[in-house]
Structure 1
Amino acid sequence: MDGMSNRPWLRHYPAEVPPTYDYPDQNLAEFLVQTAEKYPNHTALEFMGARISYRTLLDSVYRFANAMLGLGLRKGDRVAVMLPNCPQAVISYYGTLLAGGVVVMTNPLYMPRELEHQMNDAGARFIVVLDLLVARVKQATVNNPLEQIIVTSIADYLPFPKNFLYPMKAKKDGTPLPKLDYSEARMMRFSELIREAQSDPCRMPVESHTDLALIQYTGGTTGFAKGVMLTHRNLVANTVQSQLWNYRNKGSKEKYLAALPFFHVFGMTVLLNQGIRLGATLYLMPRFEINSVLKAIHKHKPTVFPGAPTMYIAIINHPDVGKYDLSSIEVCFSGAAALPLEVQERFEKITGGKLIEGYGLTETSPIVHGNNIWELRKSGSVGIPLPDTEACIVHPDSGEEMPIGEIGEVVVRGPQVMAGYWKRPDETAQTMKNGWLYTGDLGRMDSDGFFYILDRRKDLIIAGGYNIYPREVEEVLFEHPDVEEAIVAGINDRYRGETVKAYIVLRSGAQEDPLALKQWCKERLAAYKVPKIFEYRDSLPKTLVGKVLRRKLLEEELEKEQTPAKPEEATKE
């Protein structure tokens, strides 16, 4: 496997994309410093009507870095950032990096138990958090208090009069702002910290190959979240790799719709780091709310819109989508979950832009594969490996390389592959062998070097001895005109070991008809793959990035098994 001389994908590389590249050896945050020198007056961030130039952004980042050093931050110390997409998230992120700290991006939806695990595991000394979430942070850190809780409010960066009206609006929306006591020793205001700090350049030198920029926790879709150690080199390389792929980018003329959260590594690389390196303008959205997103595209004309499939599904199924002009969109990278072909085709028709699927993991910063944007692409495929990235399919048990077209485990290597799991050497050793990362995903490669991801090894359904890949069944369900969303899981079955169950969210106006849906599947799938049970739901449990939590559904099934049976609703065949 180490030879890997056969890289069939290289013949499908666009002429403009180099197969290998010399990545800058630098602190990840130098991208911002370089862009601010080049385009000081260009708008870096747009946030709810406020505009921040690159010069102003860098000034705030230097102030934050100097303030953190003043609070005693030493190189390698961990700073947690628990914010939605807002200017403070960008300032805290790059400021921590320039001060030599390690960022721990934290999901604002985390509950105290999840937060406690992450803070303790990472050994965070400081956290930057939204005022609305302070109570949760305090509850999570009762036993191990943080040294400083740096508190900010959405209103801090709103223009007048929105900043003035924000507390009233929050109250009206049912989320009144908490009354916080800043005389407490461990609490301080973000705005004061920035205002009182020096703006002298602060650029801590780092050893990019070994110094960590980030401890990024895996989604926890497979149990307790693990901290993935990503170096400056990992993230610099992946930012450049994904930018090389979008070779027709118009540099500082690009405008990114930043609805994908920065605290997810996909949003961090393809939106934040890539946008900042290009000198683009980032239009920040604190959360994905479909009506606001459609209005933002119509009004602000973004050109690049990375997202998750559920975001594109929400757009194409919106009843008033025809009333909005979405034609500014040129390129969309879809990640975090499988992109159904039906969704891709309808989205491209509506916008006139390109929507391509890529593939990656938190452990790979995250992108390793992408479909060509303007050259050959294949439906159902996650594309081909990015520059300097190698991938192959191996036997899940023996580790032998599999013949072309055969299913096995996807393994990858490249400059974007993590340094390992934080404080988990055993798990690192299981996942990384001879420089190769074993992804735990099942897939195959065709003769052109295009990869197809079937599912996580853990999600494989084995029914009556047959292997069933949920994605294959989900693709068929998505093609049905009544289905808006679908996910398939294997649930316990006395006879077959497991049986296939489909969870369905219908398009508005459609009626539940499990028999018709079953017939639809029977005409398109081998009998053993056809779902035996259909459950209709108003929504599916998701992460903030829009990845459906199959694990949550299976936990619900286990609970049902342990409670006395009720008469079945109309979900069985």
Structure 2
Amino acid sequence: MLWRQSNDPNGRRFMLMHRLLETSAMRVPDRIAFRWVDRGRTLTYADAVAAMEAMAGALASLGVGPGDRVLVFAHNGLDYLVTMLGSWRIGAISALVNVKYAEDLAYYVEDHRPKVIVYTHDMAEPVRAAARAVGGVAHLICMDGPQDGALSLPELMAAKLAAPADPARADAIAHLSYTSGTTGRPKGACLAHEPTVTACRCIGERLRIRQDDRSFGPTALSSSYQLVANLLPQLASGATINVMGQWTRETGWDALAAADATLFVGNPVVLTELLEESERRGRLPSPLRFGLSGGGPVPPALKQAFRDRLGLPLVESYGQSELGGFFALGFPELEPDDAKLMRVGPALPDKEVAILTSADTVAALGRVGEISLRGGFMAGYWGRPEQTAAATRDGWLRSGDLGSMDADGFVTMRGRRSELVTVDGVDWFPRDIEEALAAEPGVSLAALIGIPGPEGTVPIAFVTAKPGEAPDPTALKAAIAGRVPYDLTRLEIRIAKELPMTPTGKIAKATLAANAAVAP
């Protein structure tokens, strides 16, 4: 094919998300870029560029241009990735919504007003309903063929329509990813090409991702975590990217083995399942170099288990949808010091991270404050200038999370400010209780919430058991009493079959709190 050369004398053309694919395709055209493990389908780097061009031409033929939003509402797969790339290629904005939010789709359509919606066939009903309710959607495109009122993506791609010239605006918004909504209605975080590409190149260097790596990510592509952990750093290196739509511990382990994966990108829940399934089978599924966790704090007990029982580093990342990167990231190395396992890692070289006090001064080492960052983050929340201004006051992106920094520059995340549980006038960091419980034999996951009681807040910890185990709440409470800095007299521990999860893989503490008044 004819490769386009940069026409930007300052090199800003190379700061485009889709340019990472093009550049790697020039180096390793025959290497597999994408593998959809559920269907066994692949695209080489050369094939992926051709598919991106066809998608760009198809979208442009429907009137999509720079700045227009392309809503992707689909399960993980190759068409999802190609739609994102084709949108970026013509200067449009890929707007991603998790399919688990089908009942609320109209909210997202109203919020960012997409010109087209690209979806999988089983999402037809909520897509049509949202488009009718909001109006203004020019086209619906079904990934799986023609449907009433929708164009066929396979037919559009087969036409191989010519794509327009690349706008090549590195400062343009490329990606709109919604927050998880833990502190209000979800907001669309707008990520521009340039700071996101720079961040992801730094992430790739920190993780030492190379061409011969095979990265595997089973969580939803709608999450910004997938963008910065399992997509852009790998594209910059020419590595292979595996995506999966239907993860279970058994099928996921088998898929990792079939992919011969070297990197596993997940959240604490799926990483716990990988650990337990690997122990059950007596081996790792593939030549993994490390596991990478995001989407929530990693229990030190899980890092310890990866180290001691699998001989594998579990690298922790800490980021947000607003960032297009990470506040902090560990190294793909085994940490021998148990006392350091709660730390995430240091900031990356493209950003400045600090712990700010309530007076907006930099906190002393070891002091808890709000984790904040400057040096490249979102362009803002879509259509929310006041909330953007509040979150980025004085040039700092305020995380809303509390944490500390040590003399090595490593960040330790303690928890969200909104999740503090105040018991008899004392602030409890839920993570302290959760980590202590997770370290106990037989415990898989733990979550602490607080509910109002006649004598003040009642702290309740929900615990799930490892397979074949039956932990005793009374024994658990006694076991952790000496390891946390709180009076546990009022603490209740309840055993749960499972914990409710958000679509992004976080424990849904709001749901736990709503259900906590029901007798265990």
CA deviation profile, 1:153-209 (whole Å, cap 9, x unmatched): 3xx8xxxxxxxxxxxxxxxxxxxxxxx744x3xx111111100132x4655223322
Q: Distance in 2 between matches of 1:530 and 1:58?
A: 61
Amino acid at match of 1:67: A
What CA distance in whole angstroms lies between the structure 2 residues aligned with 1:308 and 1:203?
Answer: 38
* 1:450 pairs with one of 395, 410, 416: 410
The yes-or-no answer on 1:288 pairing with 2:279 is no
Q: Given the superposition, is the C-alpha separation of residues 388 and 45 from structure 1 closer, same or farther in structure 2, using an over 3 Å criterion? A: closer
Measure the CA separation in 1 of the matches of 2:380 and 2:364.
29
Aligned equivalents of 1:527 and 1:331: distance in 2?
Answer: 35
Q: Does the alignment pair 1:44 with 2:33? A: yes
Counterpart check, 1:99 vs 2:126: no
2:159 is the counterpart of 1:196: yes
The corresponding residue for 2:192 is: 231
Paired residue for 2:470?
511
Whether the 8 Å contact between 1:505 and 1:539 is mirrored in structure 2 is: yes
Residues 56, 202 of structure 1: alpha-carbon distance in 2 compared, 3 angstrom cutoff? farther
Measure the CA separation in 1 of the matches of 2:400 and 2:60: 40
What are the Cα deviations for residues 371-427 of structure 1, in whole angstroms up to 9, with x where unaligned?
A: 22238783101111101211111223x222222111111111122x11111111111
Q: Does 1:72 align with 2:35?
A: no
**Alignment map for 1:317-356 (pairs within 5 Å):** 317-318=276-277, 321-356=280-315
Alignment of 1:144 with 2:144, yes or no, is no
CA–CA distance in structure 1, aligned partners of residues 156 and 250 of structure 2: 35
Match of 2:330 in 1: 371
Q: Note if contact 1:208-1:232 (Cα within 8 Å) is conserved in structure 2.
A: yes
1:251-262 mapped onto 2 (5 Å cutoff): 251-262=210-221
1: distance between equivalents of 2:493 and 2:284?
A: 37
Structure-1 separation of matches of 2:143 and 2:307:
39
Equivalent residue of 1:315, what SS? helix
Q: Give the aligned partner of residue 478 of structure 1.
A: 438
Amino acid at match of 2:139: Q
Relative distance call for 1:530 and 1:445 in structure 2 (3 A) is farther
Alpha-carbon deviations, 1:471-518, whole Å to 9, x = none? Answer: 1110000011121111111211332x3221101111222225221111
Letter in 1 for 2:20: F
CA distance in 1, matches of 2:76, 2:205: 25
Sort the Cα spacing of 1:194 and 1:351 in 2 relative to 1 into closer, same or farther, 3 A. Answer: farther
Say whether the 8 Å CA contact 1:122–1:215 is kept in structure 2.
no
- CA 1:327/1:79 → structure 2, altered by over 3 Å: closer, same or farther? closer
Structure 1: how far apart are the matches of 2:284 and 2:407?
A: 40
CA distance in 2, matches of 1:241, 1:319: 31
Structure 2 counterpart SS, 1:29: helix
Does the Cα contact within 8 Å between 2:428 and 2:486 map onto a contact in 1? Answer: no
Determine the structure 1 residue equivalent to 2:368.
407
Mapped to 2, the partners of 1:237 and 1:283 lie a distance apart of 22
How high is the sequence identity, in percent, across the aligned residues? 25
**Does structure 1 retain, via aligned residues, the 8 Å contact 2:420–2:427?**
yes
Determine whether 1:208 maps to 2:170. Answer: yes
Q: 1:540 is matched with which residue: 491, 499, 502? A: 499
Distance 2:100 2:485 in 1: 40
Query: Residues 199 and 325 of structure 2 are in contact (CA less than 8 Å); yes or no, is this contact kept in structure 1?
Result: yes
What is the alpha-carbon distance in structure 1 between the residues aligned to residue 325 and residue 350 of structure 2? Answer: 14
Moved more, 271-280 or 529-538: 529-538
**CA contact 2:200–2:325 (8 Å) conserved in 1:** no
Greater length-normalized contact order (CA 8 Å, ≥ 6 residues apart): 1
Q: Secondary structure of the residue that 1:365 maps to in structure 2?
A: coil
Counterparts of 1:109 and 1:403 in 2: how far apart (Å)?
Answer: 42
* Residue of structure 2 equivalent to 1:133: 123
Check if 1:28 corresponds to 2:17. Answer: yes
- CA deviation string 1:305-340 (max 9, x = no partner): 111111111122238632454350002221111111
Whether the 8 Å contact between 1:66 and 1:202 is mirrored in structure 2 is yes
State the Cα distance separating 1:254 from its structure 2 match.
Answer: 0.8
Q: Given the alignment of the two structures, is residue 242 of structure 1 paired with residue 232 of structure 2, yes or no?
A: no
**Distance (Å, rounded) in 2 between the aligned partners of 1:371 and 1:517:** 30
Contact in 1 for aligned 2:419/2:449 (Cα 8 Å): yes
Where do residues 287-326 of structure 1 align in structure 2 (5 Å cutoff)? 287-318=246-277, 321-326=280-285
Distance 1:328 1:321 in 2: 17
Q: Aligned letter for 2:287?
A: S
User: What whole-Å deviation, never above 9, does each CA across 1:242-271 have from its counterpart, x for those lacking one?
Assistant: 012123x3x221111121222110111111
- What secondary structure, in the 3-state scheme, does the structure 2 residue paired with 1:434 have? helix
Q: Does 1:279 align with 2:238?
A: yes
CA deviation profile, 1:213-264 (whole Å, cap 9, x unmatched): 01111011222101111111132122112012123x3x22111112122211
Is the Cα contact below 8 Å between 2:140 and 2:151 reproduced in 1? yes
Amino acid at match of 1:194: M
Structure 1, unaligned stretches of length 5 or more?
1-21, 157-179, 561-565
Residue identity opposite 1:280 in structure 2: A
SS in 1 for 2:447: strand
Structure 2: runs of 5 or more not aligned: 1-10
* 2:5 corresponding residue in structure 1: none
Closer/same/farther in 2, CA of residues 520 and 350 from structure 1, 3 Å limit? closer
Match of 1:424 among 361, 381, 384: 384
Per the TM alignment, residue 291 of structure 1 is displaced from its structure 2 partner at its CA by 0.9
**Shift in Å at residue 139 of structure 1?**
1.9
- 1:23 Cα shift? 8.3
Aligned residue in 1 for 2:352: 390
2:449 aligned with 1:489: yes
What's the secondary structure of 2:342's corresponding residue?
A: coil
The aligned counterpart of 1:441 is 401
Change in Cα spacing, 1:181 to 1:419, as seen in structure 2 (3 Å) is closer
Query: Which amino acid in the other structure matches residue 229 of structure 1?
Result: C
| Equivalent residue in structure 2 for 1:82, among 73, 95, 100 | 73
What CA distance in whole angstroms lies between the structure 1 residues aligned with 2:177 and 2:35?
Answer: 26
CA gap of 1:299–1:407, structure 2 versus 1, over 3 A, is: same
Residue 305 of structure 1: SS of its match in structure 2?
A: strand
1:262 counterpart SS class:
coil
* 3-state SS of 2:296 partner: coil
TM-score, normalised via structure 1 length: 0.84
Q: Which amino acid aligns with 1:27?
A: L
TM-score by length of 2: 0.92
Moved more, 456-465 or 26-35: 26-35
Determine the C-alpha separation between the residues in 2 that align with 1:427 and 1:317: 42
For 1:242 and 1:516, the matched residues in 2 are separated by: 42
1:122 aligns with 2:81: no
Q: C-alpha separation between the residues in 2 aligned to 1:212 and 1:263?
A: 16
Q: Is the 8 A contact 1:518 1:530 kept in 2?
A: no
Q: Deviations over 1:273-331 (max 9, x none)?
A: 12222111122211322111111222321011111111111122238632454350002
Aligned to 1:160: none
Deviation at 1:525, TM superposition (A): 2.2
Distance in 1 of aligned mates of 2:16 and 2:485: 52
The change in CA–CA distance for 1:110 and 1:539 in structure 2 (over 3 A counts) is same
Question: 2:12 & 2:514 partners in 1: Cα distance?
Answer: 44
